[in-house]
Amino acid sequence: MRHLAGLIGAVAFAGTAIGIWGMPGATAAGRIQRRVAEVGRPNVVFILTDDVGYGDISANGATRVKTPNIDRIANEGIRFTNAYAPAATCTPSRYALMTGEYAFRKQGTGVLPGDAAMIIDPARLTLPRRFKDAGYTTGAIGKWHLGLGNATSPLDWNKHIAPGANALGFDETYLIPATVDRVPTVWVKNGDVVGHEPADPIQVDYKQRIGDWPTGRKNPELLKQKHSHGHDMTIVNGIGRIGWMTGGKKALWVDEDIADTIIRETTSFISNNKRKPFFLYVGTHDIHVPRVPHKRFVGKSGMGPRGDAILQLDAQVGAILKALDKNGLADNTIVVFTSDNGPVVDDGYQDQAVTLLGDHKPAGPLRGGKYSLFEGGTRVPFLVRWPAGQRHSTEDVRKAAPGRIANDIISLVDMLASFDQLLGGGQTGQVSQDGLDVSDAIRGLGPGKRNYSVEHAGRLALRWEKWKFIPAGKGQAYLPLTGTETGNLDADQLYDLDVDPHEDRNVASANPDVLVKMKGMLTQLRAGKQP
Ligand code: NG6
Ligand code: CA
């Protein structure tokens, strides 16, 4: 009898628990829509930093450099320890974020030159398009690096440039076309070069020198920051770039002011749109090369320009958080802070990053960095704060406290599917879809649907549960110019990340069954199937 009573009690309890969630049931979609119905549609500020490593912020353990504003997002929200960028370089990572499709499925999605055509088809569903379709105002400010214009004619910087980010669903754009180390070194606002003068046309070439401006190769004495490798073409603002350009003198950005331009544009976007839901994508230049922070930050980290750029990045985040506070938007705005790929110390300029690094560990406890198949290549900071959505009522089955740490595996390729759920669901099935719905994890009600992640650095590796598999492959094991351990080896590698987060002890031969399973998963994934 006692057993039976206990059983009935358990059933009754389970019944209550289901009842709490009402008819959409305990699905992520049901829960998130209920929350949105309660608190109203949240704004989203998605801060995608450049080359910031897992260990580059104090929230993730950095001690030599302090990032109080970035850490505030973690302290008031959730800090993920197993979040992945979809690739170990910028363009493929951002492609996957915007489309929900891994870049390895599409040719031509490697790191792009500054005059490349846009690699995303305007006809497909994208992250900004999903928000725009839902009635949001959408903006993109900062680094783009997904190409501009179409492939049928060469990019003309002296005319209105289309299609560009605006054709993918962004209402307002204010962009660094590619990277700051690539020409042209100008801002593009809604498809037009800011400060362009018809009398001084801009010409850009990535194959041969164009115009008569000095180059880093011929006139190194003109450089204020010398290159260590590459970056020896046209000199702009005392810095050698990738590619050649001439013209547009009034339009050229001043590297030292880029962070302040991002602050100006983001804070005015936020205050202009405070009365309607918005999605704002912020691509910081920091902490990519060239690292030339404003003089307010020079010398402040004791780690040279790379550390100073981290402080400048923290100030940009601080300004964004302050703008949300000031406009009364903090409670129902989802703020994400993450990075497009892992860290690199020397990425082509002599900026003292190597000599002043000391005991700072850009990738934290992880091995490798940008360009690498090891965890440091793609495991990135991911902090998310949504006070109204992460504050759970007492009925919630799993409660999240502010400052919570989440170990759930998530990927930036999941953002389209996850925000789709937030907006009511149902649209992401339209496209080839690698993303999974991790909205529960983002709300602190995890786990999300993901227990694996593809790691893409030229070729593919796989994280699954606690395991990391890097298939045997040729290629350099070490890139001497950047000091990167690539993860390439002539034999299969398997690591148990629970006990060996730094991927030092290859346990492939002791775990043949795990290897077979993970090879099978990769085969499925390559074929476009969920494993
Ligand atoms: C490399 C550049 C590097 C950086 C990278 C792209 C050289 C020698 N190196 O080719 O400096 O620009 O491309 O970085 O040119 S990313 O973060 O945009 O992917
Ligand atoms: Ca990058």
Q: Whose CA is nearest to atom 12 of ligand 1?
A: 181
Ligand 1 close to Cβ of residue 335 (< 6 A): no
Confidence of residue 399 (pLDDT cuts 50, 70, 90): low
Q: Sign (positive/negative) of CA torsion 390, 391, 397, 398?
A: positive
d(CA 370, CA 409): 19
pLDDT tens per residue, range 501-511:
999 999 999 99
Among candidate residues 279, 286, 72, the one with its CA nearest the CA of residue 179: 286
Confidence (pTM): 0.94
pLDDT higher than threshold 70 for residue 11: no
User: How far is ligand 1, taken at its centre, from the CA of residue 347, in Å?
Assistant: 7
pLDDT tens sequence across 168-213: 999 999 999 999 999 999 999 999 999 999 999 999 999 999 999 9
Q: Which whole number is the average pLDDT over 389-402?
A: 62
Are 233 and 181 spatial neighbours (Cβ–Cβ below 8 Å)? no
Confidence (pLDDT) at 16: 28
The count of C-alpha atoms lying within 13 angstroms of the C-alpha of 144, restricted to the half-sphere facing its C-beta, is: 35
Ligand 1 atom nearest the C-alpha of 143 is 18
Domains and CATH numbers, the chain: 43-136+254-443 (3.40.720.10), 203-246 (no CATH), 458-526 (3.30.1120.10)
**Best mutation site among 50, 51, 52, 89 for ligand 1, i.e. most ligand atoms within 8 A of its Cβ?**
89
pLDDT value of residue 225 = 98
- Residue 12, burial from CB neighbour count under 10 angstroms (0-12, 13-18, 19+): exposed
Cα of 289 from ligand 2 centre, angstroms = 9
Residue with tokens 């990535």: 206
Polymer length in residues for the chain: 531
In ligand 1, the atom with minimum distance to the C-alpha of 347 is: 11
Q: Which of 152, 100, 21, 184 is nearest to 420 (CA)?
A: 100
The encoded tokens of residue 330 equal 């903090």
CA of 497 to the centre of ligand 2 (A): 24
What are the tens digits of pLDDT across the range 285-338?
999 999 999 999 999 999 999 999 999 999 999 999 999 999 999 999 999 999
Burial class (CB in 10 A: 0-12, 13-18, 19+), 506: middle
CB of 230 sitting under 6 A from ligand 1: yes
Q: Which residue has the higher pLDDT, 448 or 147?
A: 147
